Amino acid sequence: MQPTAPWTAPDPAQIIKLLEACSKRNRPLILLFLATGMRLSEVLGLRWDEVDLARGVIRLPGERTKNGCSRTVPLNEHARKVLQDAALKRLEKCPLVFHVHGRPIKSIRDGFDAACTRTGLKDFHVHDLRHCFASALAMCGVPLQAIGELLGHKTMSMTQRYYAHLSPDMLKRP
């Protein structure tokens, strides 16, 4: 579900409360969403052969992205820490980064919705974490083209639709 523009992200204190309200299993996933802007399917299906901790990137092949184009996702310190912690729990024959006893995680919706309820966030969805990531970048002055590339948008119109109003340059215009 896409928010209607303009979209307003929860404040940092609400995000911290949300993380605290998340289960031990879901917290690393939520952190990775916030740190990378990846889609739910990209995170739940993340494989170790797509992660390059030495170079600090995730390389998503086109068959795993919404637009069919491969992309490289840079890892900040938070994303890197999540993946390093996951590597400590890695099962030898399981290619997935996040799993339950070697089986894919099908959904985090119930746990996420419960954490949102405990936090007081209404009408907030997992996909909104992707918008939090992009909104934070826009408010820090990251060029919209770079945000679009990080999110894997095929066209700039999608990026502009949701994040142009948050750009410091847009705020300066009369």
Catalytic residues: 39, 66, 127, 130, 153, 162
Distance of CA 52 to the CA centre of its chain: 17
Alpha-helical (H) ranges within 22-124 are: 27-36, 40-44, 77-88, 109-119
Residues 6 or more apart whose Cβ sits within 8 Å of residue 149: 71
Pairing of the two strands 103-104 and 99-100: antiparallel
Residue type, 90: R
